[in-house]
């Protein structure tokens, strides 16, 4: 079958609309993952065995099972478990929840490593100034740890952007699913999937440059 390269131009608008949904999905999952990851990291470092055990179980489960399975569980199993019918717009919500829960487990380990990399003397100095443990963590340790975790956080966001293609399994019309629809209509998989790959590449490169810029800005502020 002859390759129809002109389809790249004809299909750019629907693919870009799918790319917008992909970015929205990733942004929502990243925001959710940061919140969950920070809390899980603090729980992982807690002195309570119960709290620490819960955090370890959460992290091990979501890091040890495939994201695809987690998406299917959130989309199909959760409504069945809670006894409600799947609404029309549930694909987007399920995608964000599944990706956010998965990302939270990885971000928790990133934050934990960042917090533990801060010298213990920082916390002791803060407490000697009259700060409590919570205040020392909030105002002294976490700001320093955040600067150190920017590179691994950036890598996690880029990986999550690419992994978002898995939500096409629940018929969410993101970039990947839109590409599949066009392929099923045009029978030009090489041309369309090449275009899909290029759009993903552009998005990841832009995000990489933004992470590098943010890292340099924080590095300059530390040197002043």
Q: Where are the domains of the chain?
A: 7-223
Question: What average pLDDT is seen over the chain?
Answer: 90
Q: How far is CA 12 from CA 17, 92, 95, in A?
A: 9, 22, 24
Percentage of the chain with pLDDT > 70?
97
pLDDT for 224 beyond 60: no
Q: What is the mean predicted confidence (pLDDT) over 18-30?
A: 95
Q: pLDDT value at position 10? A: 93
Residue 93 CB-half CA count within 13 A:
9
Tokens of 107: 């971000």
Q: pLDDT value at position 47? A: 86
Class of domain 7-223: mainly alpha
Choose the weakest-confidence range: 115-129, 144-158, 173-187: 115-129
Q: pLDDT value at position 182? A: 95
pLDDT for 56 beyond 60: yes
Q: What is the mean predicted confidence (pLDDT) over 129-136?
A: 78
Confidence of residue 129 (pLDDT cuts 50, 70, 90): confident
The pTM for the full model equals 0.88
Residue 144 CB-half CA count within 13 A:
13
pLDDT for 221 beyond 60: no
Cα separation, 218 vs 143, whole angstroms: 11
pLDDT for 89 beyond 90: no
Q: pLDDT value at position 212? A: 86
Helices (H), 45-89: 49-64, 67-72, 78-82
Tokens of 200: 């993903």
Q: pLDDT value at position 5? A: 86
Q: At what angle do helices 189-223 and 175-186 cross, to 10 degrees?
A: 160
Residue 90 CB-half CA count within 13 A:
15
């Amino acid at each position: 079958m002859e390759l129809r390269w002109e389809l790249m131009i004809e299909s750019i608008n629907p693919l870009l609309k799918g790319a917008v949904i992909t970015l929205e999905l990733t942004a929502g999952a990243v925001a959710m993952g940061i919140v969950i990851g920070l809390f899980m990291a603090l729980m992982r470092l807690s002195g309570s065995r119960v709290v620490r055990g819960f955090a370890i179980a959460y992290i091990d489960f979501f890091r040890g099972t495939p994201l695809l399975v987690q998406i299917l569980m959130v989309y199909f199993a959760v409504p069945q478990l809670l006894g409600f019918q799947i609404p029309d717009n549930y694909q987007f919500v399920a995608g964000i929840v599944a990706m956010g829960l998965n990302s939270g487990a990885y971000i928790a380990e990133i934050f934990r490593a960042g917090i533990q990399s801060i010298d213990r003397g920082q916390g002791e100095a803060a407490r000697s100034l009259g700060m409590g443990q919570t205040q020392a963590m909030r105002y002294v340790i976490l700001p320093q740890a955040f600067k150190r975790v920017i590179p691994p956080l950036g890598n996690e966001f880029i990986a999550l952007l690419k992994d978002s293609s898995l939500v096409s399994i629940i018929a969410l019309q993101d970039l990947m699913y839109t590409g599949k629809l066009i392929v099923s209509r045009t029978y030009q998989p090489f041309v369309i999937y090449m275009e899909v790959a290029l759009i993903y590449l552009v998005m990841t490169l832009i995000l990489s440059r933004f992470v590098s810029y943010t890292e340099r800005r924080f590095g300059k502020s530390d040197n002043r």
